[in-house]
Structure 1
Amino acid sequence: MTHEFQVQVYYEDTDMAGIVYHANYLKFIERARSDWVRGIGVDQNALREIEGIVFVLRRIEADFRAPARFEDALVVTTTTGAVSGVRLVLHQEVLRDGELLFSAEVTLVAMTLDGQPTRLPQQIRRRVN
């Protein structure tokens, strides 16, 4: 299953040349991940408050391929990679009219509120497999 999230590039997202500043791609894919999690039916606030579990970014590998520019309409895709007891790997891409501009492999881990790794809840593992 591929999740799609729309992003509009605003002036504040760009540098003086009108090109998206590199760190903003990380913001775009973070928003897409939050939307993806909500879309699979996970309430992150309830997960934190009731089960004491949060998702933490463990690793990200990014590849910048082509620039996005002011006023571009972008699509961020998110697909599930590997899923283990505590870890979830996602593949994310930023596209403009089908052209790949940015890609990332993102590793998330489940953690307790005191910072200890913990197992992904079973209902989440079922939804992402």
Structure 2
Amino acid sequence: MRENEYEIIVEFGETDGAGIVYFPNYLKWFDNATHRFFREMNLPLSQLTKEKNIILPLIDVRCTFEKPLHDEERIVLKTSVGKMSAKTIQFNHEIYLDGERVSNGYELRGWVFKGDDGISAQPIPKEIRELLSCDGVIEKERSAI
């Protein structure tokens, strides 16, 4: 399955009073990673919404915290496609500090049509399934968020 990775520099505002990354930031990073994943396949989610009325709402999320992270640490977020059903995609996320995994989790997202009458889950098109199933690493982009 396809995978992607990029580097993040932990910002001071992402930490709590103890200087440890505040837990919701992991979910923000997961969400950003999924959006980046699609952008780096030249298929931004904003384009899917604008041109096809497709959104990928979050259905389920999980994060396991193995070691704390702190301000100004450089971390690598690795994202890969996990299980795909007819209408859902699981994105697996792992966070590394100095080559050691410090957190992992997933997002389960639906393939959903957003129309005037509301939203409805749709089968993931064959070409999208093939694109997501393709082996290999998406071109790596290193940047701070």
Question: Which stretch has the larger CA shift, 64-73 or 78-87?
Answer: 78-87
Unpaired runs of 5+ in structure 2? 134-145
- Specify the code of the residue in structure 2 equivalent to 1:69: H
SS at match of 2:64: strand
- TM-score, normalization: structure 1? 0.93
Determine the structure 1 residue equivalent to 2:51.
50
Unpaired runs of 5+ in structure 1? none
Identity of paired residues, percent? 25
Determine the structure 2 residue equivalent to 1:122.
126
CA contact (8 A) 1:76 1:94 kept: yes
Question: Which stretch has the larger CA shift, 112-121 or 6-15?
Answer: 112-121
CA contact (8 A) 1:81 1:89 kept: yes
Distance across 2 between alignment mates of 1:124 and 1:42? 10
Give the ranges of 4+ consecutive aligned residues of structure 1 lying more than 6 Å apart after TM superposition.
none
Supply the RMSD in Å over aligned alpha carbons. Answer: 1.2
SS at match of 1:2: strand
Determine the structure 1 residue equivalent to 2:106.
105
SS at match of 1:34: helix
Q: Does 1:62 align with 2:66?
A: no
SS at match of 2:72: coil
